[in-house]
Amino acid sequence: MKHVRRELGVRYVLESSVRKGGNRVWITGQLIDAVSGTHLWADRFDGLIEDVFELQDKVASNVAGVIEPALQAAETARSAGRPTADLTAYDLYLRAYAMFWSSNTRVPEALRLLEQAIARDPHYGPALAWAARCCNRLVQTDRSEDRDADRVKGIEFARRALEVAADDPGTLTAAAEALAWFGEDIGAMMGLVDRALALNPNYAYGWLVSGALRMYAGQQDIAIEHIEAALRLSPRARVGPSHLMIGFAHFLSRRFDQAAPKLLLAIQEDPGWTQPYRYLAACYAHMGRLDDAREIVARLRTITPVVVPPLVPFRNPEHRELYLSGLRLAAGETA
25-66 pLDDT, tens per residue? Answer: 888 777 776 666 665 667 777 878 777 777 777 666 555 544
* Least confident range of 16-25, 112-121, 200-209: 16-25
pLDDT score, position 70:
28
pLDDT score, position 166:
85
Do residues 243 and 269 touch, judged by C-beta distance below 8 A? yes
CB atoms within 10 A of CB 90: 21
pLDDT score, position 242:
84
Give the H/E segment covering residue 24: strand 24-33
CATH number of the domain that residue 281 is part of: 1.25.40.10
Q: Are residues 76 and 90 in the same domain?
A: no
pLDDT score, position 239:
52
Number of domains present in the structure of the chain: 3
Give the H/E segment covering residue 231: helix 220-233
Q: Are residues 121 and 72 in the same domain?
A: no
- Write out pLDDT tens, residues 263-304: 999 898 888 888 999 999 999 999 999 999 999 999 999 998
CATH number of the domain that residue 63 is part of: 3.40.50.10070
- Among 232, 256, 284, the domain-final residue is 232
List of long-range contacts for 219-226, beta carbons under 8 Å, 24+ apart: 220/249, 220/250, 220/252, 220/253, 221/249, 221/253, 223/249, 224/249, 224/250
Q: Are residues 218 and 104 in the same domain?
A: yes
CB atoms within 10 A of CB 88: 12
Q: Are residues 19 and 74 in the same domain?
A: yes
What is the pTM (predicted TM-score) of this model? 0.72
Q: Are residues 54 and 114 in the same domain?
A: no
